[in-house]
Amino acid sequence: MKTANFASYHIRKWYSFVEETLANETGQLADGEPLFKYAIGAVIANPYAGRFSESLAELIEPSPLLGQEFGRRIQALAGEREIVSYGKACLVGSQGEYEHGNALLTNPAADPIRVALGGGKSWVPSTGKRGGPGVTIDVPLAHKDALYVRSHYDSISLSFGDGPSADELIIIWAFATRGRLHARLGGLQAVDVKGNDGLY
């Protein structure tokens, strides 16, 4: 068993990504502020690698502490910029189950991140898959308070050069400071969000 270095987890590496978009794909300068996207990933030893367990408590029970650390890191990365969109994903090494990654994306881990962002009414769009080092994943993004704001449907593509190893998980959270540049497909506008039910 690998030595724990964060709560009961063994975290081998943290990743941080920043993407700043100043113009859209046809060269139109941003309609307002540039779009900043951030992503944070943690490479974590999977205690269930190579075996089946009905209970995934070893991953779930300490996960609020992991969520707090993701929250702290996004605050540090974004600084004064407000986060308005979020998303999450997991990559699971070949000796693990997809379920193992999802165990670290549930509400116990997610709620502290909402707190760090000053709230988040909508459910967090999510994806994941099994794969090895160098695999690419597209992490979905949506407005944190109202899923029906279609201008904020987006994603960020990420690749991790040396993970996950067969007995590891990579847990990923992604964030954005605004919707797509020059979004013009109608629907609920971000300025009109009520933020009561996570939809509108």
**Mind listing the pLDDT tens digit for each residue in 57-106?**
999 999 999 999 999 999 999 999 999 999 999 999 999 999 999 999 99
The CATH number given to whatever domain includes residue 148 is: 3.30.1330.110
Q: φ and ψ at 37, to 5 degrees?
A: -120, 140
Q: Enter the pTM of the model.
A: 0.95
Domain enclosing residue 138, as ranges = 11-192
Cβ pair 48, 99 in contact under 8 A: no
Does some domain include residue 117?
A: yes
Does some domain include residue 200?
A: no
Domain tally, the chain? 1
Does some domain include residue 168?
A: yes
Q: What percent of the chain has pLDDT over 90?
A: 90
Pick from 139, 146, 102: which is nearest to 120 by CA? Answer: 146
- Residues 6+ positions from 59 with CB-CB distance below 8 Å: 47, 48, 100, 103, 104
Residue 192 pLDDT exceeds 80:
no
Residue 126 pLDDT exceeds 90:
yes
Does some domain include residue 197?
A: no
pLDDT tens digits, residue range 127-145?
A: 999 999 999 999 999 999 9
Q: What is the mean pLDDT of residues 3-28?
A: 98
Does some domain include residue 4?
A: no
Does some domain include residue 3?
A: no
